[in-house]
A and B are shown apart, each in its own frame.
Chain A
C-alpha cells in the first residue's frame, strides 16, 4: 500500500472518524432495534399461544376462526409477515392491540408516562439515599453504618416486592391513612387535569392545580418509595464497592499523607473518580424500572407498561408486545447514549 497524499488521507480519516461517531451511532441504534424486533417477532410466533382465539373467543366456529386467522395475516410466511410489519412500523403504524382494541401507539402514550413518572421518582429516591449511603459505608468500612447499609441492601434484594407493597398499603393507607390507595389518583380528581405529558404530577403543575398534585403525590409516593428502595439497594452496594476500590488506591494514600481533610479525600478525590461507572449503574437501574415493575403495578393498580406488555404477551397480542419492546429498546439505547455523553463531560481522558 503506497502512501501518496498523507495530508489528504489525514483529513479524510478525521472526517471519517467524525462521521463514524454520528453515523455509527445511528447505525448501531437501527441495528439494535432491528435485531430486537426480529427476535421478539420470532419468539412471538413460536410461542404456544394462539392470538386468534383471543380475538374470536373459544366458542367460535371453524369458519370464524379461519377468517380471523387470515385477517391477521397469519396464513402468510413468517418473513412476509415480518416485512409487512416493518413496513408499517416505518410509516409510524404499530397496528392495533387485540387485547385492548385500541391502536398500540395510543396505548403506549397512555401507559408509558405512568411508568416513567413512577420510575423517575423511584430512581431519584434510590440515588439521593443510595449514593450517600454507599459512600459512607465505604468510608466507615466495618463500622455500624456499614452494617446497617448492608442489612438495608440485603433486605431490599431479598424481600418480595409484592408482599412489601401489600404491607405498605395496609399500614400507610389502611391503618394510618397517610397516603392514597391503589391507583394513580383519587376518584374525584380523575380526569380533572388536562393531559399534556401524561405524567399527572407534571400535568397538574402545568395546570397549576395543587389539589390534583397533592392527590397524585399521595398516590405515587408509596410505590415510588418501594421501587426506590430496590434501586437504592443496588446503587448503594455498587457505590460502596467502587469507593472501596478507589480508597485503597495509592493516590488516596498520597492525598492523606499530604494532610487533606478526610472529607476532601472522600468526596473530592475518590468520589469524583467513581462518578463515571456510577452513572452507568444509575442509568441501568433507571432503565430496568422503565420496563415497568409488573408486581408493583399490579399491587398498586398502576396502569403502566409492565402490566400492559405482560398481559399482551399472555394473550399473544404481538402488536402490543412489539410496540412496547421498540419503545423500551429505544429507551435503553437512549440511556446508554446519555451515559456516554456524561462520560465525556466528566472524564477528562475521554476528551
Chain B
C-alpha cells in the first residue's frame, strides 16, 4: 500500500521534466522534515523515544558529552570540566564549569546537577534504570549523589569502570535541569514532570519555542551559549509522515533535511545537483531471536543452521539497500568494544548439511512479525530459505503493541525486529543480549535473552558483569571482544544488520549530524553556505 503510490509517483517523475527548485529556506534557519510523532514528553527524566531525545539533546547540557563532529573520540567534558575517581573506583567527583547560565538566567551550579540526577532517580520513569544501575534508589539517592561547592560527588555501590559511568552520564536522562525553575512549576509530588513535559529548563544551545505534537517542534538559538552562539538562529522540525512527501519538500527547497526517506526515494535524489545524501551508522540492531522454548529452535544444530539461512548480502543489496548493513555482533559499530567479525554467509548447503547430520529434515515454526515492511520482507526471505532445507515458516503479522505483548510473555517463536541501545556504553547491549540471571517464566525480566527463554551460560553472565567493573579501558574492550566471540558461537539471538541513517540534505547545509550510533541529533554546529 505504502510502496505502490511511491513507485507510481517515481515513474511519473521520470517521464515528466525534473522539478524546478524555486524556494529556499532562510539562511539562518534550519528546516528539517522527520517523523516526530513518537514524542510523548520532553522531560529528560522521562523522554526515552528517538525524537524526544533529539529535542532534549539540543535544549539541555549534560555533565559530559560527545563532540558533535567526532563522536568516535568518546566522552568529552561538558558542564563538568573535569572529574576524578577515588575510593578504589567507588567515588567519582566532578568539577562544574564556571559561568554557565540556564535559559532562565540562573547560574548552572553543582546543586542543579546533583538535584537533576536525584530527580530522575526519584521520578523513576523508564530511563531511570540507566542511573539506577550504579546502586541509586529513590531512598538513598540524596546520600549517594551530593553537591559540595562546585563539586558534584557520586558514590557508587561497586567500583564501576569509569568509562561505564561517564557513558551513562552522557545520556539524556542525566541532563542538567534548572532546579529553581522546575521547583517553581512543580505540581504536588511530580518534581515538575508535567510542566517539563512541554517546557524547557535547560542550558543548551537552543531554547524551545513551541512543540505542537504530531506537527512541529521549533527552537530558537541561545545566543549566550557557553560554547558559542549557534549559527542557525531558528530550527524547525516538521512532522512529515510520508517519505515521498519529504522528498517533494526537499526537491522544492522548502526544507533543508529529510530524515525518513525510503531506499527508493534516496535513489530518486541521485542526479539532483542541489542535494546530497548523508549516511551515518546508528545504534539499532536488526536481529532474529529464536525462542528456546520452541522444540525445534531449541536444538543447537537448528540455531547454527539458521545463521546460514539468512541472505545477508541479498537483503542488503535489495530492500534494505543503504539503510541496513550486515552486522553479526550485538555491539554496534561506534560502540566501545564493537567487533567487525561477520563470519556467516548465506549458505543453504551448509545449513542443510548441519541439519541432516543432526537428523532434522522437516518441521514447522511460527514467527510473529510487526507490520513493518522491512521486517515482513526479512521474514519472507527467511521463509524461502528455510523451505529449501525442509523447514516451514508460518508468518503472522500484528501491530507493534500486539507483538510486544506476546514477546513480553515469551510467546514469540522467531522474533524479527530491532533493538536500540539505551545509552552509549557497551553494557546496554551486553546486559540484554548476553545476560539472563533467571530464566524462569515468572521472573518477568526485560532482557532479550529472557524474552527468548535463553538460559545464558553462567560464565557469560559473569563476564558481562565483570566487564562493567574493569577500570582499564583497553582490558574492558578485550573483555567485550571475548564475550562477543563466545556469543557468536552459541547464542540463539542472532544479530543480523546495523541501521544506517540516510538523510537527504541540501548541499549548502554543512556539518549535519544525527549523533551517530552513540548520541542524538545536534544542531549547534550546523552552518549554511
Residues of chain A whose beta carbon lies under 8 Å from any beta carbon of chain B: 48-50, 53-62, 64, 67, 96-102, 107, 110, 160, 162-163, 166-167, 169-170, 173-175, 177, 181-183, 186-188, 190-191, 298-301, 303, 307-308, 311, 314-316
Contact = CB atoms under 8 A, between A and B. Distances in A.
Given A170-B12, A182-B245, A191-B218, A49 B401 contact: yes
B124 A174 contact: no
Nearest to A49: B401
B335 to A, nearest CB: 18
A67 B128 CA distance: 14
B392 interface: no
B352 interface: no
B121 to A, nearest CB: 12
A186 B254 contact: yes
Interface in B363-404: 399, 401-402, 404
B252 interface: yes
Interface residues of B, number: 63
B248 A190 contact: no
Contacts of A98: 40
B500 interface: no
B244 interface: yes
10 contacts: A50-B401, A99-B37, A101-B41, A102-B213, A170-B13, A174-B13, A174-B19, A177-B19, A181-B245, A311-B214
Contacts of A49: 399, 401-402
Interface string B325-369: 000000000000000000000000000000000000000000000
Given A49-B401, A181-B254, A100 B239 contact: no
Nearest to A97: B213
Interface in B220-251: 236, 238-242, 244-245, 248-249, 251
B457 interface: no
Contacts of B435: none
A15 B126 CA distance: 62
A129 to B, nearest CB: 25
Contacts of A163: 4-5, 8
Nearest to B19: A174
Contacts of A182: 240, 242, 245, 248-249
Contacts of B245: 166, 169, 181-182, 299-301
B126 A60 contact: yes
A183 B238 contact: yes
A175 to B, nearest CB: 6
Given A64-B124, A170-B12, A307-B214, 16 more contacts: A48-B402, A53-B405, A54-B401, A57-B49, A61-B129, A97-B213, A99-B213, A100-B40, A101-B41, A167-B12, A173-B252, A175-B17, A191-B210, A303-B212, A303-B239, A314-B401
B103 to A, nearest CB: 19
Contacts of A177: 19-20, 22, 252
Contacts of B270: none
Contacts of B40: 54-55, 98-101
The 10 closest A-B pairs by CB, nearest first: A100-B213, A57-B126, A303-B215, A101-B197, A49-B401, A182-B245, A166-B5, A101-B41, A163-B5, A174-B19
- Give the most central of A97, A173, A298: most B CB within 10 Å: A173
A56 B125 CA distance: 7
A276 to B, nearest CB: 40
A174 B129 contact: no
- Give the most central of A101, A163, A173: most B CB within 10 Å: A101
B454 to A, nearest CB: 18
A124 to B, nearest CB: 25
Contacts of A298: 241-242
Contact of B31 (A58, A169, A187): A187
Contacts of B210: 191
B126 A110 contact: no
A180 B182 CA distance: 40
B401 A301 contact: no
Interface string B31-53: 10000010111100000110000
Contacts of A64: 124-126, 128
Nearest to A297: B241
Contacts of B293: none
B236 A59 contact: no
A191 B209 CA distance: 10
B490 interface: no
Contacts of B48: 57, 59
A316 B84 CA distance: 47
A298 B214 CA distance: 11
B444 interface: yes
Contacts of A183: 238, 240
B129 A101 contact: no
Contacts of B236: 187, 190
Given A59-B422, A183-B238, A187-B29, A170 B248 contact: yes
A303 B211 CA distance: 13
Contact of A301 (B128, B218, B238): B238
B446 interface: yes
Nearest to B49: A57
B214 A58 contact: no
B469 interface: no
Contacts of A102: 198, 213
B5 A187 contact: no
A45 to B, nearest CB: 15
A269 to B, nearest CB: 46
Contacts of B19: 174-175, 177
Contacts of B143: none
B408 to A, nearest CB: 7
Contacts of A169: 245, 248
B254 A187 contact: yes
A186 B239 CA distance: 13
Nearest to B213: A100
Contact of B5 (A97, A162, A174, A314): A162
B478 interface: no
A70 to B, nearest CB: 13
A111 B263 CA distance: 32
B381 to A, nearest CB: 25
Nearest to A160: B5
A170 B9 contact: yes
A196 to B, nearest CB: 17
B521 interface: no
B404 A311 contact: no
A181 B214 CA distance: 17
Nearest to A166: B5
Contacts of A56: 125-126
Given A57-B126, A101-B41, A166 B214 contact: no
Interface string B1-36: 100111011001100110110100110010100000
A166 B249 contact: no
A298 B245 CA distance: 9
A64 to B, nearest CB: 6
Given A102-B213, A182-B240, A311-B37, A53 B404 contact: yes
